[in-house]
Structure 1
């Protein structure tokens, strides 16, 4: 029975990570062929998924009372606002902006630099000298990023500089997202935190770009289905499967299996969008993934917890 539950958790987190990877490629298709606005897609994605998560929380007896209770504590209210505005909105917008100006494969891999930024932050905060494993992981992160950007040549970038900038910012904001969530993750159900975070981020972006102002060209029959996939499967279901998998497997296992996301993003971008991906970029992708695995296997509990949550996007 325990073995079956463990296998169930592995399947759930793997499917969730794969859905994240595919949704990034589908977003790239919308940007490339339908000229969808990045702001509009992020706004609609956050508002719809956030609403669904809060509805899910209201349907659960354990989390129902927490939906409004989180706003009764001033400190928690401030933290959830920062989590939604800086963390959730920050990571979602920078990630999709990186896809829009580049491609889903490189954007996803650059976002996976989050554990690297978390490690640097914790080393500086704790004023501790990095271990050999951490130093090697930092080298892999920098070397892998260089190969992803240049495909092994210093003559120019293989991906636009703007896309690289957004991708690196996505990793930075994901690091903030992960670290800041520790302020309340032990006291509130994940569905409450993620639901409010998404809704706050969506409402904040709605001020600049209301969801009813649709900016899209070349609308086709498949366009609504693609948008629906990104919102329902690539966001809500992917998050739900990940959170549910934690009942059956450890956060460390889920973090390692989360590496399915960049792999799926690369493969789906190659096959579906025919995105060029050079041999040196493949090596760079492997370096980034190995870096994530190394940092996920660290023994220090605080750092492990940070790395374990780093792929939740």
Structure 2
């Protein structure tokens, strides 16, 4: 029988995972607000998000495991992997996502990015030379139908979003897949705060010469400052921290499944706050892609259980 304390702890883990997903979803809508109404440049915003968020996480890592924070720099191969993660993982996933938002809206960009887990499954199927299981075939079909409905509203003649928005949304999904796969080896050796913190900070610094973050952009008022602060603190640092904490309590599979709330949060807030037009076909496409995430998560959990048996 589960003790009340254990039950309460599990509930707190569930709440933290959902809260992290909601924070991430709202962060995308805040970015859309800054792009549309405050004339912020996506690349400039990404650069500052990476630098400030990374700096906070590195400092946080130092307060937790100071030795672990700098240990990665003593191993040249791990340093190279970290640099690759910083540029090809962290910068690419952030920039493609934010740029996709600037071309469409937070809801559409977030949902398109969430087709990324399907690419992760495809990568491991090829790597391990195995045919996808039934749930993965179903996920592929649902993801394709969901994306089709989202970008065409069921019409074969036209797109309801620009070709650029679709392209950058797909690139965002590819970047998310790389971001998920590439640092797995590093995360077995170093803490997630260390890898993510250094990845963000180094990525932001490498991106700086191209974005010139020292040149202030956009219309700065209380609304802009609030949205910018939210993206850095709640959309990056706090969301990351509480999500990792939830993983230690309820496990990675359950926590990842609950993250499917993020597209719903992005869509809901964008509709209510920014008046984004999200019709029945958009919601149906979103539902199909969310079911994709559920099926992939369940199939991954079942495969893990079979391997352990």
TM-score, normalized by the shorter chain, greater than 0.5: yes
Determine if contact 1:40/1:210 at 8 Å carries over to the other structure.
yes
Candidates 43, 46, 52, aligned match of 1:42:
46
Q: Deviations over 1:188-210 (max 9, x none)?
A: 11110000110111011101112
Cross-structure match for 1:300: 303
Q: Deviations over 1:94-136 (max 9, x none)?
A: 0000000100001000111111101111222222111111111
* Structure 1 ranges of 4+ moved more than 4 A: none
SS of residue in 1 equivalent to 2:74: coil
Q: 1:303 to 1:287 in 2, by over 3 A?
A: farther
SS of residue in 2 equivalent to 1:133: helix
Which aligned pairs between 1:156-171 and structure 2 lie closer than 5 A? 156-171=158-173
- Structure 1 unaligned residues grouped into runs of 5+: 305-313
Determine if contact 1:149/1:158 at 8 Å carries over to the other structure.
yes
RMSD between aligned residues: 1.5
Cross-structure match for 2:28: 24
Cross-structure match for 2:6: 2
Q: Which has the higher helix share?
A: 2
Cross-structure match for 1:154: 156
Q: Deviations over 1:246-296 (max 9, x none)?
A: 221111110111011110001001111111112111111001000011001
Q: 1:288 to 1:233 in 2, by over 3 A?
A: same
Cross-structure match for 1:250: 251
Which aligned pairs between 1:1-313 and structure 2 lie closer than 5 A? 1-60=5-64, 63-216=65-218, 218-298=219-299, 299-301=302-304
- Structure 2 unaligned residues grouped into runs of 5+: none
Using the TM superposition, name which of 273-282 and 35-44 deviates more. Answer: 273-282
Using the TM superposition, name which of 153-162 and 26-35 deviates more. Answer: 153-162
Number of equivalent positions:
301
Q: Deviations over 1:201-255 (max 9, x none)?
A: 1011101112211221x43331111101111111111111101112211111101
